[in-house]
Amino acid sequence: MTTATDTNNPTAAEARPVTVLGLGAMGSAIARTFLEHGHPTTVWNRTAAKAAPLTDAGATTAPTAAEAVAASPLVVVALLDGTAVEQVLTSVGTAITGRTLVNLTSGSPSQARANERRARDHGAAGYLDGKVMGDPPYVGTPNILFAFSGSGSAFAAHEATLRELGTVTYHGEEPGAAAVEFLAQVATSYELLIGYLHTLRLLRAEGADLAGFTERFGASLAVFPALLTSMAQAVESGKYGPDLGSLDVQAALMDDLIGHRESLGVEAVRMREVKKLMDRRIADGHGDQGFSSLFELLAPQGAA
Site of interaction with ligand FVH (CB under 6 A) = 22-27, 45-47, 50, 78-81, 84, 87-88, 105-106, 132, 135-136
Helix residue ranges per DSSP H, 93-223: 109-121, 152-163, 177-205, 210-220
Secondary structure (DSSP) of 95-111: GGTT-EEEE-S---HHH
Q: Give the residue closest to ligand FVH by C-beta.
A: 24
C-alpha–C-alpha distance, residues 154 and 74, integer Å: 9
Nearer to ligand FVH, 22 or 287 (CB): 22
Q: How far is the CB of 69 from ligand FVH (least distance, A)?
A: 14
Nearer to ligand FVH, 79 or 294 (CB): 79
Nearer to ligand FVH, 52 or 232 (CB): 52
Q: How far is the CB of 143 from ligand FVH (least distance, A)?
A: 12
Nearer to ligand FVH, 59 or 125 (CB): 59
Report helix, strand or coil for 299.
coil
Distances (CA, A) of 289 to 17, 214, 230: 57, 30, 14
Q: How far is the CB of 87 from ligand FVH (least distance, A)?
A: 5
Residue 128 near residue 148, CB atoms below 8 Å: yes
CB-CB neighbours of 121 under 10 Å: 10
Distances (CA, A) of 101 to 56, 72, 117, 278: 25, 10, 12, 47
CB-CB neighbours of 182 under 10 Å: 24
Q: How far is the CB of 136 from ligand FVH (least distance, A)?
A: 5
Q: How far is the CB of 56 from ligand FVH (least distance, A)?
A: 17
Q: How far is the CB of 52 from ligand FVH (least distance, A)?
A: 12
